[in-house]
Amino acid sequence: EIPVQLGGGIRDLDTIERYLDDGLSYIIIGTAAVKNPGFLADACSAFPGQIIVGIDAKDGKVATDGWSKLSGHEVIDLAQKFEGYGVEAIIYTDIGRDGMMGGV
């Protein structure tokens, strides 16, 4: 069985439960984790081992809302905070480089 993860617009526990019941392995929470850390903590508690956080950033500052807004949060600080909530993994995207065909 291949693990499948899904993210994008996840804003409530009912949606997470529905996707996991449908057979998905992991749920990725991005903007909602930054804007509502309590929701992320609740999700990690309700679905242990199945919540991943997606952190998008430019120049070390976390971006939200489809990369359109910089939150002012530092990537490292937020990642450490979320680690304490019990997230399964963190997916980091450097939006200053993603899609630029420049390699690493």
Where in the chain are the domains? Answer: 5-94
Nearest residue to 82 (alpha-carbon basis) of 32, 26, 30, 37: 37
CATH of domain 5-94: 3.20.20.70
* Alpha-carbon span 101 to 37, nearest angstrom: 33
3-state secondary structure of 56: strand
Per-residue pLDDT of the chain (104 residues; tens, 9 = 90+): 899 999 999 999 999 999 999 999 999 999 999 999 999 999 999 999 999 999 999 888 888 877 677 778 889 999 999 999 999 999 999 887 654 546 56
- Distances from the Cα of 30 to the Cα of 33, 37, 101, angstroms: 5, 10, 24
- Distances from the Cα of 38 to the Cα of 14, 57, 65, 89, angstroms: 15, 21, 18, 17
For the entire predicted model, the pTM comes to 0.86
